Structure 1
């Protein structure tokens, strides 16, 4: 058996790069698996995986986070994305008991609008105290709540009546000044704690809408909305209202390689082919000319340099101009995923990724147990 050989770093970089051409995209398939390259041992190794894995946050705010996940296969990155969208539990309005609704919005439409309002509250209560709710049997008395308890149901009330404002001017035309409660907002929804819920949802931890100014309905004098609502825990796979994210997406790291000098007016034109901040312009100094002989004839001129390839959208605009032919290569890094996660408010955006890792780990443990049972 021939001795195993190790590819050069340049060869590894080539394998990890998707080539973006004028009209085609090449080298898209994964090749890092045993037997693909003769004389190479590409078996998965936990130590190599640990050394190559890297997670770097670029932005970390409660509602918006961006980070790079480096060193994993696309299937793993996509698993995290799908778990964040569909399998992290949240609470949302599931049932609306409408006692009175004389607004112009139909009952079912109003209930749907209420269900899509995101709420927040004490994290300890939402994640550990509140459990999943079991739907009553089909033959259960609808006037009873046999499966609703303080540990699986959160009660909310919305009771609003529109009345005339006697203090409004005779010439006033603004409905919000002519009437009281002309607009019904999410902040008009009141949380009614039951049982032990006061221990977890009081003060700053009370259940409130993430955005209190979400418009629910518009009323006019004499119109009333009187609704009791029950919130339950669920996951996005059941209904989009339970999804903890507005969006969770990723893209591959763009790569821009300038292979030949782009000088003078061409450099300025080249920079305009990319979003702002991707390409910069700088003078060719003596030091630069010494490092790269190709710039020696252009001492003192302006050259194009890559400043931040991560900002690029890979529009391929530069490949459409003949003056840049053979001077630039575009690509994407196969194992560098730039995630963008926008939380709906019940979870912090960075916590969503950590929770997705936790859930994927649980899935792997279940699969491992099933495989062992099959072997037995």
Structure 2
């Protein structure tokens, strides 16, 4: 039989969700907490128990469960996803002509936030471009080459459609009828490969905006924009535009334990307290009545059962109704993390997680080498 401390330890693997409070939020699985038990981290135990299960896996959006790991490790993956995976983004903007109503600095900022995409292997081939150190303003910037920067051009001029208003119907206000090139979109950024980029980039996957329909500016006849931008590699730690994800978050798996039967009209009300698909209604059978005395004489009525707790948002709505006070317990599994990763387009969403694992391993190897150097 398991010891009393083992049973207590297992019960504390769930975070309790009460009407006004949250319990068991502190970790108790560290060495020395439970007398006679050692919960120190073990590599072999980690290899045997850690699991990754994908729920959805699309190019730009994926969801997966990461189980049997500590919160610190899950949060390390999240922070690496946000801030340490390198991407290519617009860094320098050279404006030769801008007669639109948007100021130069605002226009440059909008261009910098446009996510880029293209041949992944070629983008990985590009090297880092190191600018001058912040504490040395006199230091010269690294030379721009075909392997550390990419050039894109934007040249758009707004004109009257079909020679002017004379051919437009009287009272026409639709800009698509009146003007040409009145809206400047991200697809108007044209990549100009130089040097070895002609060979490294697949012609079927040129460097371009990940979303071609991002609106940059609106213009009217006589206004134009002509500029050149340089894209460099960077990380989200330096600027948010280099972050490869639109969002990278996790939540703990919700648990819903129905400790006493909820039947009839109460079952329907209970189901409405949760998002659609979390609670299902099933008919009470003779076997159910035989196993639970509270269901005797209620055969044929509907009862509430938990169908998919992963869809629950833990709103605690059911705890606000007194009839459910002693019939349900809410919680979250402490070591079951449901990740949601949305890529901005330069990386596939599942590749991002694998890259975060690789980078964490590199960081661990760096720390290991440092510790070995200290102990020599």
Q: TM-score, normalised by structure 2?
A: 0.94
> Quick one: distance in 2 between partners of 1:366 and 1:140?
29
Instruction: Provide the alpha-carbon RMSD of the alignment.
Output: 1.9
Alignment-derived partner of residue 317 in structure 1 = 317
Deviates more, 1:202-211 or 1:69-78: 202-211
C-alpha change, 1:74 and 1:38, in structure 2 (3 Å) is same
Alignment-derived partner of residue 42 in structure 1: 39
Check the 8 A contact 1:285/1:299 in 2, yes or no: yes
Instruction: Write the deviation string for residues 44-70 of structure 1: whole angstroms up to 9, x where unpaired.
Output: 222222222111111100111100010
Alignment partner, residue 121 of structure 1: 118
Task: Could you tell me which runs of 5 or more consecutive residues in structure 1 were left unpaired when the two chains were aligned.
Answer: none
**Matches of 2:132 and 2:221, distance apart in 1:** 38
Are the equivalent residues in 1 in contact too, given 2:9–2:28 (CA < 8 A)? no
Cα pair 1:85 1:245 within 8 Å, conserved? yes
Is the contact between residue 5 and residue 39 of structure 1 (CA under 8 Å) also seen in structure 2? no
Other structure's SS at 1:113 match? helix
Measured after TM superposition, the shift of residue 276 of structure 1 is 0.7
Number of matched residues?
Answer: 369
Aligned to 2:331: 331
1:107 to 67, 91, 104: 104
| Change in CA separation of 1:113 and 1:294 when aligned onto 2, cut-off 3 Å | same
In structure 2, what is the Cα distance between the partners aligned to 1:48 and 1:297? 49
Task: Indicate if the aligned counterparts of 1:135 and 1:147 stay in contact, CA closer than 8 A.
Answer: no
Per-residue CA shift, 1:65-106, capped at 9, x if unaligned? 100010111110000000000000000110001111111100
TM-score using structure 1 length: 0.94
**1:16-31 to 2 correspondence within 5 Å?**
16-31=13-28
Partners of 2:3 and 2:363 lie apart in 1 by 34
**Structure 1 segment 160-199 matched on structure 2, within 5 A:** 160-166=156-162, 168-171=167-170, 172-199=172-199
Q: After superposing the two structures, state which structure 1 stretch, 93-102 or 9-18, moved more.
A: 9-18
Alignment of 1:1-376 (within 5 A): 11-127=8-124, 129-135=125-131, 138-139=137-138, 147-166=143-162, 168-171=167-170, 172-376=172-376
1:290 CA displacement: 3.6
Q: The residue matched to 2:253 in structure 1 has which SS?
A: strand
